[in-house]
Amino acid sequence: MSDPTDDRTEIERIDKEHVFGTWSYQSEVDPTQIVDADGVRFTDAAGNDFIDFSGQLMCSNLGHAADRVSEAIADQADSVPYVAPNYTTEARARLGEKLAEVTPGDLTKTFFSTSGTEAVEAAIKIAKFYTGKDKIVSRYRSYHGATYGSISVTGDPRRLAAEPGIPGAIKAPDPYAYGSTMDPMESLEYIDEMLMLEGDTVAAVLVEPIVGSNGILVPPEEYLPRLKEIAHDHGALLICDEVMAGFGRTGEWFGSDVFGVTPDIMTMAKGLTGAYQPLGATIVTPEIAAHFEDNMLTHGHTYAGHPVACAAGLAAIETYQEENLIERASETGEYLGEQLEELADAHPSVGEARGVGLFRGLELTKHSEERVPFGEREDKVGKGSTVVDEVAAAAYENGTYVANMINTLIIAPPLTITESEIDEAIASLDAALEISD
Ligand code: PLP
């Protein structure tokens, strides 16, 4: 007998019983059934409509109505739904070519997988095979994925449950101007020293060019070019993880483009298909690609280069190009930035509004002078919600979905969002922030 006081839909009840929730105490998992999504909005089974102010997990860059991508998926599933990776399809070859075109510099050859975490796994292995070295230096405020290798190089507290993880994963400080006592450029010199002390044993330095889920941290202009020099001085590669910052979010194609840097290896997922299909990609320079001509690339997946996912990726990139979504993100992003600055001025609990393009964050603080965070580490012991969770929940009640991590609200809407949709979402946030002031 079902419980008459349970107002969940049948689907929500079945899901809760039979499907694990991610990163959660299962007793707290309470999924809402979504029945429709269109443009920048989605609708739940009770008929409530929401503005998607975070592009779900900062991945729905094209919004929820990119017909060209849906049609490409249907056409590919009709013609060749799947072939083993030792065959090719037009979708896979053309997407490889397209990625060489839109990524910075001479990045040329791609390994395809199905997610960001797998793109990072491939990057780690390629760096180790190419350099013959074992260690990876990454930073504390970072997220690189959930599988064993990628969680080991992740710096945020999600790594702790998987520790000790893979050997040779070393963490460095971050360019976090607001919340750290170390100046961003000083943190680079620290990395220089670390690499010297590690001897010639580090395969790569792995960074998000603009940190995403750990709080939208934008380094100074000179940071990434200098980091590349430091890595190369010590015989290490630079890997830029563009899984979240890539595909127009910053108003440029990639976070690396904001700083004019071409990394040795770049990882992509999320916006690569605008989240219409799961697809990861790891692109490398011609020198690294050439190494594997006569050295085996001992890596692969059944679904590496899945035709339907590649068709979605190709159609997504064509959509970014033909609808000028990257330039548009830069313009709309300016407007969004101004609105968020106004919120920061109006609410004492907003410590800092920061970001670039349509990739922005509001860091909440108890005392803006002292920079004391409202955050998981401080306020949440085991189960229960933090103040940041409560602000996000209040915005949701007001019709705006906004993701939050640690002590930051993460604002990364579809690149198709209009100024009036931004106004609507900002009004929800404005009301919700009363809770934390
Ligand atoms: N790298 C970065 C920078 C990410 O933000 C994420 C996910 O949020 C990942 C890797 C992992 O991607 P996925 O969740 O697709 O495995």
In this prediction the ipTM stands at: 0.99
User: Assign residue 381 a region: left if phi > 0, alpha if psi is -120 to 50, beta otherwise?
Assistant: beta
Q: Which atom of ligand 1 is nearest to the CA of 146?
A: 16
Residue 225 has pLDDT above 80, yes or no: yes
Q: Quick one: which of 218, 239, 219 has its CA closest to 228? A: 239
CA of residue 244 to ligand 1 center, whole Å: 7
* Strand pairing class (109-113; 280-284): antiparallel
- 269 in ligand 1 pocket by Cβ < 6 Å? yes
Torsion of CA 154, 155, 157, 160, to 10 degrees: 70
Is the distance from CB of 304 to CB of 87 less than 8 angstroms? no
Query: What is the residue with the minimal CA distance to atom 1 of ligand 1?
Result: 144
Q: Is the CB of 145 under 6 A from ligand 1?
A: yes
pLDDT over threshold 90, residue 138: yes
Ligand 1 pocket check: which of 139, 142, 144, 156 to mutate, most ligand atoms within 8 Å of Cβ? 144
Measured in degrees and rounded to the nearest 5, phi and psi for residue 126 equal: -60, -45
Residue minimizing CA distance to atom 13 of ligand 1: 116
Q: Supply the pLDDT for residue 201.
A: 98
Q: Which atom of ligand 1 is nearest to the CA of 142?
A: 3
User: What is the average per-residue pLDDT within 281-304?
Assistant: 98
Averaged pLDDT, 170-199: 95
CATH classification of 32-65+325-435 is 3.90.1150.10, yes or no? yes
Question: In this model, does residue 245 exceed pLDDT 80?
Answer: yes
Please report the atom of ligand 1 found closest to the CA of residue 244. Answer: 5
Whether the link from the prior residue into 184 is cis, omega within 30° of 0, is: no
pLDDT at 379: 47
**pLDDT tens digit string along 80-135?**
999 999 999 999 999 999 999 999 999 999 999 999 999 999 999 999 999 999 99
What pLDDT is stored for residue 2 in this prediction?
58
Q: Which ligand 1 atom is nearest residue 117's CA?
A: 16
Ligand 1 centroid, distance to 342 Cα (angstroms): 30
CA distance 416 to 407: 27
DSSP state of 6: -
Residue 300, pLDDT score: 97
Mean of the per-residue pLDDT values of the chain? 95
Which of 112, 118, 243, 279 to mutate for ligand 1's pocket (most ligand atoms within 8 Å of CB)? 243
377 pLDDT above the threshold of 60: no
Distance 430 CA to ligand 1 centre (A): 29
Residue 384 has pLDDT above 80, yes or no: no
Alpha carbon of 369 to ligand 1 centroid (Å): 33
Residue-level pLDDT at 382: 53
Residues 14-36 have pLDDT tens digits of 999 999 999 999 998 999 999 99
What's the rounded mean pLDDT across residues 303-322? 98
pLDDT of res. 277: 98
| 116 close to ligand 1 (CB < 6 Angstrom) | yes
Of all protein residues, the one whose alpha carbon is nearest to atom 15 of ligand 1 is 116
Identify the band that residue 181 occupies on the pLDDT scale cut at 50, 70 and 90: confident
Domain boundaries, the chain: 32-65+325-435, 67-322
CA 267–ligand 1 middle distance (angstroms) = 10
The whole-number pLDDT of residue 375 equals 60
| CATH numeric code, 67-322 | 3.40.640.10
Pairing of strands 135-139, 202-207: parallel
Ligand 1 in contact with 213 (CB < 6 A)?
A: yes
Q: Please tell me the distance from the alpha carbon of residue 300 to that of residue 203, in angstroms, as a whole number.
A: 21
CA 109 – ligand 1 centroid, Å: 21
For residue 417, which of 18, 62, 22, 4 has the smallest C-alpha distance?
62
Determine which residue's CA is closest to atom 5 belonging to ligand 1: 244
pLDDT at 134: 96
* Ligand 1 contact via 223 beta carbon (within 6 Å): no
* 206 Cα–ligand 1 center, Å: 13
Task: Tell me: pLDDT of 381 over 90.
Answer: no
CA of 299 to the centre of ligand 1 (A): 20
